[in-house]
Amino acid sequence: MTALQEKPKAVAPNGPPPRRRGKRATALAGTDKLVLALMLGVPTVVHLLFVWIPTLGSVALSFSEWNGIGGFEDIEWIGVGNYVEIFTEYPRFWPAVQHNLIWLLFLLVVPTSAGLLLAVLLDRELRFSRIYQSALYMPMVLSLALVGFIWQLIYTPDGGLLNSVLGLDKPVDWIGDSDINLYAVLVAAAWRHTGYIMLLYLAGLKSVDPALKEAAALDGASASQTFFRVTFPVMKPVNIVVAVVTVIEALRAFDIVYVINKGRNGLELLSVLVTDNIIGEASRIGRGSAVAVILLTISLGVIIPYLYQVFSKENRT
């Protein structure tokens, strides 16, 4: 439970006082300072070099025309041309946006409510609770690529589980039909996502002060009133985490559609449009980077509020 409790307010740090300009911090010896600088500096440099510099690189390259093979002197700077092209001409862009949006909505509705429901059901004294939880968590440890493989055995038109169970006269091609394959894949993705949401909500429910529920019950609130008016609002931090996790998951979606059909024929996603420029058919680094920047912008839209929520508590102390 420790994780969910308020952290002990960091009293005036007992560590050395903040360094002041021009004045040596007396508490730390020279070697100690050097060691500490290395301990913080090396990981930061690694992180900046391989994560943030490439991110800025994507932003820069999105204003260029380049095939990625030649040297940097082949880069042609074309301003916002890539963005204009993406929004007006690029045929795969809007379908991809639509698919990502459906992906997000589906994840926000189906696994989230299923996970919440299961968490509520399991958050009580219950026999076999641990066994139930283990079974529900299990898909979480599988990679999305593997989930794609395993579900193909269910969806395949000849001898797949689903068609056999439904016993239709005309077998449905769940993966090949571009009208339904997105939803078929989403069911598989949701299968894996539900356990995670359940885990988050179970932790959230356990952190709710039982006294609140008791007080509500004493005031004559019904079980469902207590849940929707008291418990759920109190879990706001968990709700935010669930929202962030889901948005990021929807933006990152890639592996599962790639193993199924490399993200074509109804399974186009923004992530596929980016990756195609390196390992696929297209090699237009500029246009791919512009799509990456669009992904970046959307993700920053949830990352920044999340950081604000998490770290604002600290700023105040």
Partner 1 sequence: MTATLERPSVPAKKTRPVTPARIALHVFLILTCLMTLAPLLWAVYASLRTYDDTSVNGYFSIAKSLTFDNFAKAWEIGDLPHFYWNTFLITVPALIITLVLSSMVAFGVSRFSFKFNIALLMLFTAGNLLPQQVIVTPLWRLYRLIELPVWMSESESLIDSPLGVILIHIAFQMGFCTFVLSNYMKTIPYELTEAARVDGASVFRQYWQLTLPLCRPVLAALATLEFTWIYNDFLWALVLIQDGDKMPVTSALQNLKGTFFTDNNLIAAGSLLVALPTLVVFFVLQRQFVGGLTLGSTKG
Give the interface segment with partner 1, choosing from 12-20, 78-86, 89-97, 174-182 (CB under 8 A).
Answer: 12-20
CB of 293 to partner 1, least distance (A): 8
* 161 to 190: interface string for partner 1, x by CB under 8 A: x--xx----------------------x--
Residue 24 DSSP label: -
How big is the site for partner 1, counted in residues (CB under 8 A)?
A: 122
Q: How far is the CB of 211 from partner 1 (least distance, A)?
A: 15
The Cα–Cα gap between 116 and 198 comes to 6
As a whole number of angstroms, the distance between CA 104 and CA 310 comes to 23
Smallest distance from partner 1 to CB 222, Å: 15
Q: How far apart are CA 11 and CA 21, in angstroms?
A: 23
Q: Does 292 bind partner 1 (CB under 8 A)?
A: yes
User: Which parts of 35-94 interact with partner 1 (CB under 8 A)?
Assistant: 35-36, 39-40, 42-44, 46-55, 57-58, 61, 68
Q: Which two tokens stand for residue 178?
A: 């571009």
Q: Quick check: helix, strand or coil at residue 25?
A: coil
Q: How many CA atoms lie within 13 A of 298 on its CB side?
A: 18
The amino acid sitting at 28 is L
- Which one of the spans 80-88, 119-127, 173-181, 213-221 is the region binding partner 1 (CB under 8 A)? 119-127
Residue 31 binding partner 1, by CB under 8 A: yes
Per residue in 97-133, is it b (16+ CB within 10 Å) or e — as a string? bebbeebbebbeebbbebbbebbbebbeeeeeeeeeb
- Among 85-93, 178-186, 222-230, 245-253, the segment contacting partner 1 (CB under 8 A): 245-253
Q: Measured from the CB of residue 81, what is the shortest distance to partner 1 in angstroms?
A: 17
Identify whether the C-beta of residue 61 lies closer than 8 Å to the C-beta of residue 277: no
Residue ranges in 131-160 that form contacts with partner 1 under rule CB under 8 A: 131-132, 134-139, 141-146, 149-154, 156, 159-160
